[in-house]
Amino acid sequence: MRPLLVLLFLCLSTLAQAQPFADREFDARGLDLSEKRVLQAALALSGDYVGLLDGAWGNGSQSALEAYTMRTAGTGKPRNRHLERLLSTFEAERQDNGWQIIHLEADDLSFAFPLNLLLETDDPETATYASADGSFRLTIATLDLPQMLDAHDAVAAGAAPGFDLYQSYQPDRQITSATLRQGRLAYIRTDRIGESGFVALTMTAAPVHRGRMALLAASIQRGQGTELALPTDGLLAMMAAQTVQPQVTMPPQTSPRDPDRSANDAATSTGTGFYVNNTDIVTAAHVVAGCARMALANGGPLSVLAQDGDLDIAVLSAPRSPVWLSLGTETSARLGEPVMALGFPFLDLLDQGLSVTGGNVSALPGDGDSAHEIMISAPVQPGNSGGPVLNHNGAVIGMVVSRLDDMVVLDETGSLPQNMNFAVSPATLTAFLDRNRIVYPVAPGRLFDLAGGIPDDVARAVVAIYCFGD
């Protein structure tokens, strides 16, 4: 009898191995942590998963997948082929609406943010981002304890009768979500910062954005988050079959760095800036000082969102761009590391487009006036101000602000300075953006090899800024 049982087991094992991969029952144990996080994100977007994108595949994650397959395929036993539609829908949403992980460095908080969907508003009191039709809004604010309690009470008080009201209060994190009487959805999460402060992320949205709202809420975490891109290898990619393309090339645009000479001949000065998200440009404050109006080379209007003359940093609201630069994850540059400075020097005299010069970080921030700057040996000229400084991984680690005055140094020392130029340090730049609630993607690691030149998308994210007088 025993040989017959062994033979039967071997036959069943052979049949299981012969079963096509797509028809096999899904088993999360074959996925790595990043794949599980992507799958949780896809289920949050579909409206089936409520929880954190932590990659811990437990009963909640499995039940969410079973609910999804029951609704879409009529079975509570998910098979690998059932994930194809789920993942392709998520990847299309991620690419179309530009979902990227944003890290609020000052608050040490990360979350997924749809850069192509939510644009910064003109609200002077808070950092508020909204869809074009106003149906999805996100506000980021710093609150004290009474304000935090009032904010949660306001959401709870607006809950519609008969709908679930969710509240979770922990010492360092509070969450309230509800369906409001008007039918809109509301969500607020507050995380403790310091002894008595809280950073609050508040969302309101029409029901059509329920999945997006759930995805953003599920992605919030302390510390630096990781991107939710579908891995190009592994089991999850096989389950996605051929419908999901992990990477896409940014669509072409009319380059904002092709000068329209007739439109900008009247400019009183020029400088450089670079997109840090799809609507905001960082530049030097002195580039836009005294400008009655500002414009890109193609005539696109610019306006100041925030500026600090002492730090020499300004952020401009700009026409939407499909490309932007990532900031470095390091809090400081490394002495001696190779860098490239990008900009538009002597734009009123030369018509040669973007200029790139190479050098090294020759000095780190010191004390006093130099506490916010690094010194670089990459040559810069008038017009380079506001341009990015890229490290060997392709991430922005500074912004050009000044160079030593040759004649002053010659008069003082009897020698001409050799490539002693200054850029705002990366820590100063990111702290300024965080302080003014400017969202920006953080470099996930190596973006490109500096030795191979500047990729087209990077070059297109660096723009010439024209300043016009009265």
Give per-residue pLDDT as tens, 252-272. Answer: 233 333 444 445 657 788 899
The lowest-confidence range among 8-22, 28-42, 108-122, 381-395 is 8-22
The lowest-confidence range among 169-173, 238-242, 325-329, 428-432 is 238-242
Residue 412 pLDDT > 60: no
Residue 174 pLDDT > 80: yes
Compute how many other C-beta atoms are within 10 angstroms of the C-beta atom of residue 315.
Answer: 25
Confidence (pLDDT) at 409: 35
Residues 6+ apart with CB under 8 A from 446: 393, 394
Residue 69 pLDDT > 80: yes
pLDDT digits (tens, 9 = 90+) for 333-372: 778 888 898 988 877 665 668 888 888 888 776 555 456 7
Q: Which CATH class is domain 17-246?
A: alpha beta
Helix H segments across 118-246? 145-157, 210-219, 235-240
Contact indicator for 300, 338 with CB cutoff of 8 Å? no
* Mean of pLDDT values over 417-432: 78
* Mean of pLDDT values over 402-409: 45
Q: Which residues pair with 348 in a beta bridge?
A: none
Three-state DSSP at 168 gives: strand
Of residues 146, 141, 142, the one with CA closest to residue 129: 141
Q: When comparing pLDDT for 331 and 315, which is higher?
A: 315
Residue 189 pLDDT > 90: yes
Confidence (pLDDT) at 239: 74
Q: Which CATH class is domain 253-470?
A: mainly beta
Contact indicator for 151, 188 with CB cutoff of 8 Å? yes
Residues 6+ apart with CB under 8 A from 126: 139, 140, 141, 437
Q: What percent of the chain has pLDDT over 90?
A: 37
Confidence (pLDDT) at 77: 92
Residue 372 CA, chain-centre distance (Å), reads: 24
State the Cα–Cα distance between residues 453 and 72, nearest whole angstrom.
47
Contact indicator for 463, 298 with CB cutoff of 8 Å? no
Confidence (pLDDT) at 235: 76
Helix H segments across 74-128? 83-96
Look up tokens 């969500």; give the residue: 187
* Mean of pLDDT values over 109-125: 86
Q: Where along the chain do its domains lie?
A: 17-246, 253-470
Of residues 136, 188, 134, 186, the one with CA closest to residue 160: 186
Q: When comparing pLDDT for 356 and 420, which is higher?
A: 356
Q: When comparing pLDDT for 128 and 382, which is higher?
A: 128
Confidence (pLDDT) at 384: 86
| pTM (two decimals) | 0.66
Contact indicator for 31, 39 with CB cutoff of 8 Å? yes
Confidence (pLDDT) at 1: 46
**3-state SS, one letter per residue, for 355-413:** EEEEEEEEECCCCHHHCCEEEECCCCCCCCCCCEEECCCCCEEEEEEEECCHHHHHHHH
> What b/e readout covers 346-385, taking b as 16+ CB neighbours within 10 angstroms?
ebbeeeeebbbbebbbbbebeeeeeebbbbbbbbbbbbbb
The lowest-confidence range among 2-11, 15-24, 118-127, 141-150 is 2-11
Confidence of residue 329 (pLDDT cuts 50, 70, 90): low
